[in-house]
Structure 1
Amino acid sequence: MKPLISVVVPVYKVEKYIEECIKSIINQTYTNIEVIIVDDGSPDNSIEVIKDLLEDKRLRVISQKNQGLSAARNTGIRAASGEFLSFIDSDDKVKPEFLESLYKKATETKADVVRGAFRDFEGKIPEGWVSDFNIEPSTGIEALKSFLDKNVSFVVWSSLYRTTFLKENKLKFMEGILLEDGDFTTRTYINATTVATIEEANYCYRVRPGSILTTNNAQRMSESEQKVIRSFITWYQTNPSLEILELIEQSIYAFMRDWTRVLVKNKVNFNPKDGCYSSAVELVKKTLKKRPLSERMKFKVKLQIIEFKYH
């Protein structure tokens, strides 16, 4: 029998979408699965909607008070007993071959992480996202270099992970923030012996009003960017490896691109003389020199606007 794959599905206010999601998981061509549905204190009828589907013995529900997406995923990681693990958001869906194709690549390459592409429900790449990331099986460090060079979108839900790899390296999601996928992906790739990719886009991402990624909460977004960057700066200061230091610089730059965009477009509670911001600006200078001229100029203009706007 093929090894067990754990599928972690965090649930919060998705009663309109969860049935379609769970049905797409139940109907996978890869059948040896456990589906860990983490009810993150959802106040609606999300769990009631799938009551009949829960008769499938491969599904189980873990209920907890509302703690956010990161905490729900961490609960799923702790509960997982499969050899492999995948995250699927409860308002999305997957094609029948989603797990099978990732598992096949994982066994062929012995990868700790296998990433697939994704599309929206209309079969298109969501606007502003970079989905496709195709590389030969590489070390995690080499994969992350390529990932950052191509500005690939930080998402965790189109991938398959070896469960022991996550647990042995104590890899988990930073709680209490948005943008947890970027922090998790960076740390995961750096720790991975091998990362592989597949070209198939078997994950379907739902773009909907009110979801975390489409809610205009500039203050919380800014605070999340700051928290992740601050943790990366601490990591940078304690890491002796030159190769990893350069990757952390690139990762900070990736987050700074987004943070500066938020600061320019919105008025938030922010001080440009904050130690985190000023340290990050210094750390990304080397990375910035390697970017295309148009990108360098755009970033520098944003810094000038921020200096003027928040002076």
Structure 2
Amino acid sequence: MPLFTVVIPLFNKEKFIAATLKSVLDQSYTDFEIIVIDDASTDRSYCVAAALDSTKIKIIKHSFNQGLSATRNTGIKNANAPYIAFLDADDLWDSNFLEEIARLINQFPEAHLFATNYLEIYSNSVALAPEVGLKNTNTNFVVTDFFEASLAQPIYCPSSWCVQKDVFKTTGLYNPKITFAEDIDFNIRANYYFKLAYSTQACVRYRMVSENQITHAPITNKILPDLDVYENWGKEKPSLKKYLDFNRYIFAKMYQIEHNLSEFSRLKNAIDPDANVSGLNYKQRLLLNASPLLLVAIKKIKRFWVQKGIRFTSY
């Protein structure tokens, strides 16, 4: 039995999947299997993946499109290893990613979640490290408070983390009803119950611009995580309450840009008006009350500068 199962959801990524799979096959740590789940792709994604000649690769094909959460769940259910590492079909691992995760597993036996830092790839010449809230200066450590550390950009991306398989017995699987920000919902459950071991080494290249990048699509017709479900947890853990309100702030701005005033108002009103409780800084509170035109203009300006390697944030 391998130590790792690498789960790769695949949907219409024919231009990227070969390089993604090669980045796994080139790992310095070789005790792994790969499960690719093709979610009824309409391009040549399945054929490209199937053309790679490796006994480590198993491909499961959905007969109809079921969405990202259900696709990941298929991989989890078919995994043979005690640790499951997730990789999106357009991202790349550096050759030492699994080696670094294995080091975390050995170094921190109290942890059940494992992750590394990552680089955001905007073009062949622009790669930016995320703006995160971690204050520990060690290379490897157990994150003291995931929710407090995540009030900026995510400290790990969907392709830079690994979960002990037994975790799913406690947390449940990914929620297949959610069609946007599925990771936020699962991150809440996983990090509420379990400890996260983390490496500051950026071992993953996370593509920010690729075909069918869901984060660029409108959210009005998407199903978002129901953050209200976790409010009781937030009452006992103030940092989680901040994390919930921070994500309400992110989603509310997106709805405001799309002129979806009902969902914008619902989320805005759910944010605690006390800044000490919500954790929102003054810039974020100003943006929450900005007009759609101003938010669109700010978004365009930020997109222009990030393509040049310069990032402006409200964090």
Across the aligned residues of Structure 1 and Structure 2, the Cα RMSD in angstroms comes to 3.0
**How many angstroms apart in 2 are the aligned matches of 1:158 and 1:266?**
30
Structure 2 counterpart of 1:200, one-letter code? Q
Question: Which of 287, 292, 296 pairs up with 1:298?
Answer: 287
Q: CA deviation at 1:217?
A: 1.6
Q: Which moved more, 1:210-219 or 1:70-79?
A: 210-219
The equivalent residue for 1:199 is: 200
* CA distance 1:255–1:145, shift in 2 (3 Å): closer
**How many angstroms apart in 2 are the aligned matches of 1:172 and 1:297?**
34
Task: Among all aligned residue pairs of Structure 1 and Structure 2, give the percentage whose two residues are the same amino acid.
Answer: 21
The equivalent residue for 1:130 is: 131
Structure 2 counterpart of 1:115, one-letter code? A
Q: Which moved more, 1:291-300 or 1:261-270?
A: 291-300
Per-residue CA deviations over 1:181-227 (Å, capped at 9, x if unaligned) read 111112111110x211111111111232443345332423xx43xx4
Q: CA deviation at 1:264?
A: 2.5
Per-residue CA deviations over 1:122-146 (Å, capped at 9, x if unaligned) read 46227xx53684646446xx42233
Residue 200 of structure 2: SS of its match in structure 1? coil
Q: Is the 8 A contact 1:94 1:204 kept in 2?
A: yes
Q: CA deviation at 1:285?
A: 5.4
Structure 2 counterpart of 1:17, one-letter code? F
* CA distance 1:169–1:292, shift in 2 (3 Å): closer
* CA distance 1:69–1:156, shift in 2 (3 Å): same
Question: Which of 231, 239, 258 pairs up with 1:236?
Answer: 231
Q: Are positions 1:280 and 2:280 aligned together?
A: no
Residue 60 of structure 1: SS of its match in structure 2? strand
- Structure 2, unmatched stretches of 5+, are 296-315
Structural mapping, 1:101-112, within 5 Å? 101-110=100-109, 111-112=111-112
**How many angstroms apart in 1 are the aligned matches of 2:241 and 2:14?**
41
**How many angstroms apart in 2 are the aligned matches of 1:208 and 1:301?**
27
**Number of equivalences:** 286
The equivalent residue for 1:80 is: 79
* CA distance 1:63–1:132, shift in 2 (3 Å): farther
**How many angstroms apart in 1 are the aligned matches of 2:217 and 2:174?**
26
Q: Is the 8 A contact 1:95 1:202 kept in 2?
A: yes
Higher share of residues assigned helix: 1
Q: CA deviation at 1:268?
A: 2.9
Structure 2 counterpart of 1:58, one-letter code? K
Q: CA deviation at 1:177?
A: 1.3
- Structure 1, unmatched stretches of 5+, are 307-311
Q: Are positions 1:39 and 2:38 aligned together?
A: yes
TM-score between both structures, scaled by the size of structure 2: 0.79
Per-residue CA deviations over 1:155-192 (Å, capped at 9, x if unaligned) read 33211211112334324245341111111112111110
Question: Which of 226, 241, 247 pairs up with 1:255?
Answer: 247
Q: Is the 8 A contact 2:256 2:264 kept in 1?
A: no
* CA distance 1:103–1:284, shift in 2 (3 Å): farther
Q: Are positions 1:181 and 2:170 aligned together?
A: no
